[in-house]
Amino acid sequence: MRYSIKSGAIEKVAADCLVVPVWGKSALSTEASHLEKVSDKALGVVIKSGDFSGKLGETSLLYKTSGVSARRILLVGLGERKKLNARAAAKMLEATAKAVAKTQSESAHYAMASVEITDRDTTWLAARVAQELEDACYRYDTTKSQKVTKPALKSLSITAPAGARRKGLEDVLKQGQAIGKAINRAKQLGNLPGNVCTPTFLANEAQVLAAKNKSIATQILSEKQMARLGMGSLLSVAAGSAEEAKLIVLNYQGANSSSRPYVLVGKGITFDTGGISLKQPAAMDEMKFDMCGAASVVATMGCVAELKLPINVIGIVAAAENMPGSKATKPGDIVTSMSGKTIEILNTDAEGRLVLCDALTYAERFKPRTIIDIATLTGAAVAAFGSQANVMLSNDDKLAQTLVQCGEESLDRAWQLPLWDEYQSLLNSNFADIANIGGPRAGTITAACFLSRFTEKQKWAHLDIAGSAWQSGAQKGATGRPVGMLMQYLMTQKA
């Protein structure tokens, strides 16, 4: 989609759809008041009818309005002026983007220069407009025999707020578009079925991404290479599957080669049956989403390259398929991780931490500034937080606070749980250095405690996205989270 800034009288903008805001209780915005005057009070007719009141996210379409060049006007409700914070504005922009995408408009113009967000600057709205439009235009049809009709929208323009620098607005539009596209990339990878999106498929996606971006180099480690490195934990997960595991490394260089990188590690279980500890059949189809951590890493790396961030970033994906089979790992088996620590596998359905621990050890060779792993790791996270929060645990308070703040800024929230030493004893094993589960209580915390054993020398944070990575029910599909939060973090870091 093309994005631009347009100046001049909004009634003369020749767009297919002109988006105009109205405050709650039918209070006209500056733009709406202007259109009311030049259109022979066409807006007032709609408002007086009672069909539109300006409540948050409400929309109403007007066609062929006198005195206005645009083919249609979309009125959008802002709600109460004093309550229009970033979260409310995002809800409004999401509803607006969906309404625009439902029309046959090929071009749209957002006339929202007068709208002020209580807790954001003037450029935030422009960036969010682009992000929400990209998100709203996503459609999945890859595995359908009849392709879904995609939104017709090809270009978007906005009216510049008074005093805003044109270059600055163009930059934030590009930023919002890039993040929106990255969220869609993560959704697309997550939505693909397990017989398509295999570890090899993910590896190929990484290579395609590197081929399109000179700033990214990629390396794919085979099972033989991982075996030579001693990655017995990761390989134990793939032992029962005919699909070969892959360790995918994406290396983005946006700064001097001597600058230490930021590392993202994604769980890439392309399908999770639970292995020998077989899952219940209900909703097992959703276990294709168990690679959404990997999807977020691949998508984020592409976004970093598109925005040419002046830092170095490493993306690592631990990709495997967890299947039962004659060679599958059994409960009670003991494996040796790349770190040398031995692990008693009490439950083969706690496999995500087994692939992540070797990937985290591998990440140490890059001497990272910080490591963030992203994983659909525990059902306990879903039980405690539902779909709202990315659950976060960390061994570094400063990193944790930064990620919480980035979650607030990006509206992709994280909530921190404790990583207290008192929980570590739950992972004691009579037969190995550590067990892979800690019992029925505090499952999200003990999973992070397990990973913390492999990041003791690093500034590390763990994001459990089991609740936030996808939706169930009628709207089943990947959400693309937490790409927004990860990008907010990386955009605020320095080389």
User: How far apart are the C-alpha atoms of 3 and 431, rounded to whole Å?
Assistant: 60
String of DSSP letters for 49-104: TTS----TT-EEEEES-TT--SSEEEEEE---GGG--HHHHHHHHHHHHHHHHHS-
pLDDT of residue 122: 86
Q: Nearest Cα to 406, choosing from 463, 467, 471?
A: 463
Provide the 3-class DSSP secondary structure of residue 482.
Answer: coil
The CATH H-level superfamily of 184-491 is Zn peptidases (3.40.630.10)
Q: Nearest Cα to 199, choosing from 154, 247, 165, 259?
A: 247
Q: Please give the angle made by the CA atoms of 160, 162 and 166, to the nearest 5 degrees.
A: 45
Percent of the chain whose predicted confidence (pLDDT) is above 90: 98
User: How far apart are the C-alpha atoms of 374 and 210, rounded to whole Å?
Assistant: 21
pLDDT reading at 6 higher than 90: yes
SS3 for 190-221 is HHCCCCCCCHHHHHHHHHHHHHHCCCEEEEEE
Which of the four pLDDT bands, split at 50, 70 and 90, describes residue 445? very high
pLDDT of residue 162: 83
Give whole-number Cα distances, 48 to 18, 32, 81, 430, in Å: 21, 14, 20, 75
Please state, rounded to an integer, the average pLDDT across all residues of the chain.
97
Instruction: Kindly report, residue by residue over 372-430, the tens digit of the pLDDT.
Output: 999 999 999 999 999 999 999 999 999 999 999 999 999 999 999 999 999 999 999 99
Question: What is the DSSP code (8-state) at residue 157?
Answer: E
Q: Nearest Cα to 298, choosing from 483, 445, 479?
A: 483
Show the beta-strand stretches assigned E in 361-407: 370-375, 390-394
pLDDT of residue 406: 98
Q: Nearest Cα to 135, choosing from 90, 78, 167, 79?
A: 90
pLDDT of residue 164: 86
Fold of 2-137: Leucine Aminopeptidase, subunit E; domain 1 (3.40.220)
User: How far apart are the C-alpha atoms of 152 and 150, rounded to whole Å?
Assistant: 6
Per DSSP bridges, beta strands 216-221 and 262-272 are: unpaired
Per DSSP bridges, beta strands 17-23 and 27-28 are: antiparallel
pLDDT of residue 244: 98
Catalytic machinery residues: 279, 353
Return left, alpha or beta for 415; rule: phi > 0 is left, psi -120 to 50 is alpha, else beta.
beta
Percent of the chain whose predicted confidence (pLDDT) is above 70: 100
pLDDT of residue 177: 98
Instruction: Kindly report, residue by residue over 241-290, the tens digit of the pLDDT.
Output: 999 999 999 999 999 999 999 999 999 999 999 999 999 999 999 999 99
Provide the 3-class DSSP secondary structure of residue 27.
Answer: strand
H or E stretch at 272? strand 262-272
Instruction: Kindly report, residue by residue over 51-91, the tens digit of the pLDDT.
Output: 999 999 999 999 999 999 999 999 999 999 999 999 999 99
The residue extents of the domains of the chain are 2-137, 184-491
pLDDT of residue 180: 98
Per DSSP bridges, beta strands 246-253 and 312-322 are: antiparallel
pLDDT of residue 430: 98
Instruction: Kindly report, residue by residue over 156-166, the tens digit of the pLDDT.
Output: 999 998 888 99
User: pTM above the 0.85 mark?
Assistant: yes
Question: What is the DSSP code (8-state) at residue 26?
Answer: G
pLDDT of residue 218: 98
Q: Nearest Cα to 157, choosing from 273, 13, 276, 27?
A: 13
pLDDT of residue 207: 98
Instruction: Kindly report, residue by residue over 37-60, the tens digit of the pLDDT.
Output: 999 999 999 999 999 999 999 999
Contact 465, 352 (CB under 8 A): no
User: How far apart are the C-alpha atoms of 329 and 322, rounded to whole Å?
Assistant: 10
Provide the 3-class DSSP secondary structure of residue 6.
Answer: strand
Question: What is the DSSP code (8-state) at residue 473?
Answer: G
The number of C-alpha atoms within 13 Å of 101 and in the hemisphere containing its C-beta is: 20
Tell me the average pLDDT across 475-487. Answer: 98
H or E stretch at 130? helix 122-136
Instruction: Kindly report, residue by residue over 333-379, the tens digit of the pLDDT.
Output: 999 999 999 999 999 999 999 999 999 999 999 999 999 999 999 99
